[in-house]
Structure 1
């Protein structure tokens, strides 16, 4: 039974632990620029994820792989300047931490120093344990990411649900426990069976945030552009669209074009 909701002036990693302990769900959305981040933060979101999904959403790439550390720093610093309350979590991009823990630490330090963000997120479990340990040793909060890890898309070959088979499910549960033991403050679980996600959430004391992982985890994350209906191409089962901005924005643009062409805009009240 959830306890009485506690009000937070600023969300920190400690706040998130308390929210899990109190049975309060954690809400996370993405943002990549100042204007969107200001709106999302003002609405009362707990975490803004500056995701490497900016590679898809903002730059139009097919995968998250092309985005660079410099570009992630640019997006993250834009978001940080906008926020007053939420925690800003930023993805370390592909190639900035895998296989070389010293490089991972350098990347994490650059991201924290140059963007002013509050925490970073890495994809993977046991295979990146050394990188996580090095980063945590510098006092940088780390959130893990298991299940479907988009930076490994060419290894998986598709964006289908992960850990449906017993062997992969067992590894995921072991990796979740490892991430907790290493000192991560939370885990994102992406596109895994709801029953497995619930087991993982109960097995660890740190918050588990789901995307396509059912409702029995500690919180949820969606890409803001998807939940606002600004994108039409992406329609997974887990996505709930709260608006249809694609059609609404298209209508507004068409009306503007019509008014300019017909000389209706600007009218006498809209000029000096």
Structure 2
């Protein structure tokens, strides 16, 4: 290893050490579909809850069964762990009246944080009556919710261009959204440029980077194809030949995510949202490396 790389690593680790105690994390989960998945889901929830995340979120499925499951899981997370639990809510295929009833029920249940999204269009559909902005407005009419919305450093796949995508985000923030959580990314420069453009546009809320710890590269390629996310060539090289070697893939994925987070911390980022895919191993290992330790109960490192 060259002296340059050693010095660069030391700088990153020094910045990380200085930031300990000032890093916030949050975790995303999805409703499990089988009893086996549910067992592992709760195992992951309880293990990651020891890291005292700022909040945990649960995605919102495309059918009514998943939607009801999200509601019940959110309530159960609060009861079992005491964590702030934020349900995802989408406005696709749901009338404003039905949405208002759902939101009112959340408010009555003591849920005060919602991740507001438009949602994925049904296959073959190109028309929608409501967007994420409309949902933010509806939420604020019902109660003073804390609202997280989505942001896209590499531009939403359906946006006309980067500028229109940015304008849409600003409208959601101006309507009352508390923060923006980005789509996962691996090109750090894309995130940093996007953050700069947000500041120029007058968006002064936190642009929280969404971090996806990778353990299945083929699955990642499918996700990226659907979401307009660029996978750098160096990642393809790193995962080459590991399709059947899950344990090594986990180590590679954790290393990539840790390096990303270290660089982002150096650039002043202090909040991170992890897409866990209902697995705790990689996210727990990454947070441990960041100095977020479950044993630090008396002197918590998450502010």
Q: TM-score interval w.r.t. the shorter chain? A: 0.5 to 0.7
Residue number among 167, 171, 181 corresponding to 2:164 in the alignment: 171
- Deviation per residue, 1:232-266 (Å, 9 max, x gap): xxxxxxx87838xxxxxxxxxxxxxxxxxxxxxxx
Distance across 1 between alignment mates of 2:204 and 2:20: 19
Distance across 1 between alignment mates of 2:50 and 2:283: 21
Residue number among 86, 96, 112 corresponding to 1:101 in the alignment: 96
RMSD of the TM alignment (CA)? 3.9
**Which residue pairs with 2:4 in the alignment?**
none
| Higher relative helix content | 2
- Deviation per residue, 1:39-92 (Å, 9 max, x gap): 32222211211223xxxxxxxxxxx423532111111111111233x4321101
Structure 1 SS opposite 2:117:
coil
Does the alignment pair 1:87 with 2:84? yes
Of stretches 195-204 and 185-194 in structure 1, the one that deviates more from structure 2 is 195-204
Q: TM-score, normalised by structure 1?
A: 0.55
- Deviation per residue, 1:14-34 (Å, 9 max, x gap): xxxxxxxxxx44311124665
Instruction: Please state how far the C-alpha of 1:112 moved relative to its aligned partner.
Output: 3.7
Residue number among 194, 199, 205 corresponding to 2:196 in the alignment: 199
Structure 2 SS opposite 1:162:
coil
Q: Is the 8 A contact 2:195 2:207 kept in 1?
A: no
Query: What is the 5 A alignment of 1:115-264?
Result: 116-124=110-118, 127-139=131-143, 140-147=145-152, 162-163=155-156, 167-191=160-184, 193-199=190-196, 202=199, 203-211=202-210, 215=264, 219-225=271-277, 228=280, 242=285
- Deviation per residue, 1:166-197 (Å, 9 max, x gap): 95211221122111110111111214632443
**Which residue pairs with 2:59 in the alignment?**
51
Structure 1 SS opposite 2:162:
helix
Structure 1 stretches of at least 4 aligned residues deviating more than 6 Å after TM superposition: 4-7
Report the count of equivalent residues.
190
Q: Is the 8 A contact 1:169 1:196 kept in 2?
A: no
Distance across 2 between alignment mates of 1:187 and 1:174: 13
Q: Is the 8 A contact 1:124 1:145 kept in 2?
A: no
**Which residue pairs with 2:253 in the alignment?**
none
- Deviation per residue, 1:143-176 (Å, 9 max, x gap): 212339xxxxxxxxxxxx5359995211221122
Relative contact order, higher structure (CA 8 A, sep 6+):
2
Structure 2 SS opposite 1:220:
strand
